[in-house]
Amino acid sequence: MTDRLQSHAAFNALQLAAQTRWNEMWEGNRLIVSVGVDSSSEPKGALRVLAACRQALAGTDAIVREVSGNGAMWMEPTVEIKRPGEPPVVYGWIGPDDVPALLAGALQDRAVGVRGADAFGEIPPLGEHPFFKHQQRIVMEDFGVIEPDSIEDAIARGAYNGLIKVLFEMTAEEAIAEVTASGLRGRGGAGFPAGIKWESGRKARARPKFVAVNSHEGEPNVYKDRRIHEGDPHKILEGMLIASIVCGAERAYNYIGGEYPLAIKRFRKAVVDAERLGLIGPNILGSGKDVEIRVRTGGGAYICGEGSALMYSVMGVRGQPRTKPPRSVEEGLWKRPTILNNTETFANVPAIINRGGEWFSQIGTPTSAGTKMMTVQGPLKHVGLVETPMGIPMRILIDEVWGGMRDGHQFRGVQTGGVSAGPLTEEHLDYAVDFDSMTEIGGMLGSGGFVVFDQHVCPVDFARYLTAFNRVESCSKCVPCHRGNPALVEILDRIRLGGGSREDLSLMERTSKHIIDLSLCGLGQVAPMPLLGMMKMYPQDFLDHIDNHLCAAGACPVSATATLATAAD
């Protein structure tokens, strides 16, 4: 076990040793087998594949590694093979029974690509595949490369270099200036400039101060933050430490959704290892800076993704929002200044400190700098997590990166903004995916979760699902949200069952306006947006349900009701 590091020089020595070990491993003559294990590959048998690899190579000098997935969920479980004198090759769709043949050099038809710039024989570089071609990975740079449970791997790849800079080479003002110059905006959905928030937190006079990470991620179609914890928890941890040091906080909390056990496990392991090395705790590396890191887990309430509700939950109080001002940088945890950002936001910070704000600002668009991690669900060929520059058109994401629709499925729309915005149709797919471009047509980037749906999905039924989610997740603190969302669900059920009228359409619009205008927090203020978007984009479907008792997708009870009524006549 490495002793606690006491100085900058001691860290440099450790990093040099880690880099030497890393280079010797990849340049040596040993077989290296890396199995991608995360929360999507585990149900597909990744742990059994890992066990089969270890069993098959027991007693040899081969190295079997447990890495994370690379975001390509469509080809999981994945195994990367690095043979002596050859580049690493990624294979997809590997089951436990395939391991002997894979290790023997067969199954070349399942080779997806080479992790590197050049082809190997007939196997192309992984970066040429449409799923990877448009990506620029900053946060996901080491997904599938390092072992998430190995702090030595992370340090060998440059982890904590940004922390070293803010401890020994930059002032707090200089570090925040880089974050401000980068144009980094909050990746949780609101898009507030991180530099402005950090500067406000630094200037706050009350003590103590806190840093908080919103890793709750309670929306049903978003899983990017969970994957950062599973793929490279050290990026989050380093971002938390940098924010704490430059803003003057001595304690930071990471609030993780309790339904993500692997994410919690790997992040806690990262914290333990960083404490062991002296990167967390009192007098970090002899700098005189003290930072403690704590993990808090949520109970599954969506409302606890809202900033003030999250802080109440961290403090052990019922998670409900409060009015603002005061803002969290003035009064947050225990009524003290608190700098709260999303997981992805913090994970971008180390690269900004290391490479400079100007570098980051040149990626993406002038008003939405950098990259964005995005997730998708639906009948697409290449479902998975991606990280692309801001401003990429939605059409390229759907048709190229995610591979287009599977056979037998016709594109009908894409739900944007998680459960907080409306859908886009075919005519809107050339809009840029960033914080600003989709808002004029009722869409929203949000936290980057999209659901593509086909001809088998009824917009009325989908609107009911999204509205019911917000009804269930309402904290019940304010009347417009608590009573308004159930009323909308009741009206939608009436329409779905064949008892609706055209007056219900205007009633839903009026009710939605009241919820939006009068609700206390962001959940209520956007809860009706998916419904209003569906009504705007698919008006004929609503009218068919009301006037003709017809659901074109066959998903609603109205069609069955109409059939029974016809038979009775």
Query: SS3 of 198, please?
Result: helix
Alpha-carbon gap, residue 41 to 71, rounded angstroms: 10
Domain-located, residue 119: yes
Q: Residue 438: which pLDDT band, with cuts at 50, 70 and 90?
A: confident
With cut-offs at 50, 70 and 90, classify the pLDDT of residue 44.
Answer: very high
Give yes or no: residues 207 and 341 share one domain: yes
Contact 533, 424 (CB under 8 A): no
Contacts of 422 (CB under 8 A, 6+ apart): 415, 416, 442, 443, 444, 529, 530, 532, 533, 534, 536, 537
d(CA 321, CA 310): 8
Q: Which CATH number is 91's domain given?
A: 3.40.30.10
Asked if 315 and 180 sit in the same domain, the reply is yes
One domain for residues 400 and 257: no
Residue 85: Cβ within 10 Å count: 6
Give the residues across from 493 on adjacent strands: none
Residues 448 and 463 in one domain: no
Omega cis (within 30) before 366:
no
Question: pLDDT-based confidence at 386, cuts 50/70/90?
Answer: very high
146 within some domain: no
Closest residue by Cα to residue 31 from 67, 80, 104, 83: 83
Describe the crossing of helices 161-168 and 172-182 by its angle, rounded to 10 degrees: 130
Tens of pLDDT, residue by residue over 48-69, are 999 999 999 999 999 999 999 9
533 within a domain of the structure (yes/no): yes
Which percentage of the chain shows pLDDT scores above 70?
98
Nearest to 151 by CA among 243, 235, 265: 235
**8 A C-beta contact, residue 449 and residue 375:** yes
| Own/partner pairs, 319-326, CB within 8 angstroms, 24+ separation | 319/475, 320/475, 320/477, 321/475, 321/477, 321/520, 321/521, 321/522, 321/523, 322/520, 323/520
Tell me what percent of the residues of the chain surpass a pLDDT of 90.
89
Q: How are beta strands 89-91 and 210-215 bridged, if at all?
A: unpaired
List, in order, residues 6 or more apart from 147 with CB less than 8 Å away. 65, 66, 67, 153
Instruction: Return d(Cα 542, Cα 546) in angstroms, integer.
Output: 6
220 with 317, same domain: the answer is yes
For residue 71, is it within any domain?
Answer: yes
The whole-angstrom separation of Cα 226 and Cα 231 is 9
The pLDDT value given to residue 534: 97
Residues 535 and 436 in one domain: no
Same-domain status, 526 and 415: no
pLDDT-based confidence at 559, cuts 50/70/90?
confident
Structure pTM? 0.95
Last residue of a domain, one of 361, 382, 406: 361
Is 321 part of a structural domain of the chain? yes
- What is d(CA 178, CA 353) in angstroms, rounded to the nearest whole number? 7
Q: What is the DSSP string of 545-565?
A: IIII---TTS-SHHHHHHHHH
Query: What is the torsion angle, in degrees rounded to the nearest 10, for the CA atoms of residue 556, residue 562, residue 568 and residue 569?
Result: 180
In a domain, 366, yes or no: no
Same domain? 125 vs 63: yes
DSSP letter, residue 133: H
Q: Say whether both 436 and 468 belong to one domain.
A: no
| Amino acid at site 322 | R
User: What span, in angstroms and rounded, lies between the C-alpha atoms of 185 and 195?
Assistant: 8
What are 342-352's pLDDT values in tens digits?
Answer: 999 999 999 99
Looking at the fold, whether 298 and 399 belong to one and the same domain comes out as no
Q: Return d(Cα 139, Cα 187) in angstroms, integer.
A: 12
Whether residue 187 sits in one domain with residue 47: no
- pLDDT over threshold 60, residue 1: no
Is-contact 446 416, C-beta < 8 A? yes
- CATH at 231: 3.40.50.11540
Q: In the listed set 452, 486, 506, which residue is the last one of a domain according to the structure? A: 452
Handedness of CA 268, 72, 386, 31 (dihedral sign): positive
Beta strands at 210-215 and 251-257: parallel, antiparallel or unpaired: parallel
Tell me, yes or no, whether 353 and 391 share the same domain: no
- Contacts of residue 510, defined as CB under 8 A and 6 or more positions apart, other chains included, come to none
> Per residue in 62-108, pLDDT tens?
999 999 999 999 999 999 999 999 999 999 999 999 999 999 999 99
Residue with tokens 């090395």: 277
Task: Say whether pLDDT at 565 is over 90.
Answer: no
Q: What is the CB neighbour count within 10 angstroms for residue 318?
A: 12
Task: Flag whether 143 is in a domain.
Answer: no
Q: What are the C-alpha distances in Å from 524 to residues 16, 135, 220, 476, 478?
A: 52, 34, 17, 10, 9
Of 120-124, 278-282, 475-479, give the lowest mean pLDDT range: 475-479
For residue 101, what are the domain limits? 8-133
CATH classification of the domain holding 396: 3.10.20.600
Q: How many domains does the chain have?
A: 4
- Pairwise CA distance, residues 124 & 113, whole Å: 5
CA distances (Å), origin 252, targets 159, 259, 288, 333: 19, 21, 17, 10
Report yes or no on 151 lying in a domain: no
Residue among 538, 540, 551, 567 at smallest CA distance from 498? 551
Residue finishing a domain among 452, 483, 499: 452
pLDDT digits (tens, 9 = 90+) for 153-183: 999 999 999 999 999 999 999 999 999 999 9
444-451 average pLDDT score: 91
